[in-house]
Structure 1
């Protein structure tokens, strides 16, 4: 028998049925809760950087001379509780706030700031 088109277009049940797992919003809810904490810590850092030129100058000088320990001390002195990776270059600062839920990496928040 000759079919001018592929047979599956004529038989609606031909396509395989794709089954999905039941959804469980618990992990998403926990991730959102942890992300709010990351945002609070990022907000603390941004508040400090936007309010204190002396702090900014000290941070930029430490970065300019590649004093990683001092840069980290300054950022942590703001009172953040989240884990944060701190990277800088001659043009600016990049902070990556991160956390876990049930020992699984779940949430990251990147903040990139330029000073040149």
Structure 2
């Protein structure tokens, strides 16, 4: 318990309000353009397709010890052509961008909507 000595007044800490009471708080009424959902919805659809490809890759790694062993060995030796060949053997529609480090592998699945990058799906899997 903190008690103040009876002969000394309690310490007053300065109070600084967030908003000064002398100035009114302004609320900005912003006008936004009407929303266009076509691109948003198309991007979501493409991302679902990417998720299917990522699921195929992860399912193959999860279920095949032989594939996982080949994949890990090629990645640890920085044999990128072999890693891409193994990924192509799965049959995904989109070939992911692959990078690896001593802890694991990073797969970036990306798709374009016309000329615009619409969606990226990043999958990181640890092996250490």
TM range, normalised to the smaller chain? Answer: 0.7 to 0.9
Distance 2:127 2:94 in 1: 24
Partner of 1:78: 90
Give the TM-score normalised by structure 1: 0.85
Quick one: structure 1 residues 78 and 71, their matched pair in 2 at CA, closer, same or farther if it must change by over 3 Å? same
Whichever of the two has the greater Rg, that structure is: 2
Distance 2:71 2:108 in 1: 17
Q: Output the aligned Cα RMSD.
A: 1.6
Matched residue count: 108
Matches within 5 A, 1:24-103: 24-103=36-115
Unaligned runs of 5+ in 1: none
Distance 2:121 2:28 in 1: 39
Distance 2:83 2:27 in 1: 58
Q: Which has the higher contact order (CA 8 A, sep 6+)?
A: 1
Unaligned runs of 5+ in 2: 1-20
Residue 106 (structure 1) aligned with residue 118 (structure 2): yes
Q: Which SS does the other structure have where 2:90 is aligned?
A: coil
Give the TM-score normalised by structure 2: 0.78
- Conserved? CA contact 1:48–1:78, under 8 Å: yes
Distance 1:74 1:23 in 2: 42
- Structure 1 runs of 4+ off > 4 angstroms? none
Structure richer in helix, relative to its length: 1
Residue 21 (structure 1) aligned with residue 21 (structure 2): no
- Conserved? CA contact 1:83–1:99, under 8 Å: no
Q: How far off its partner does 1:110 sit?
A: 0.7
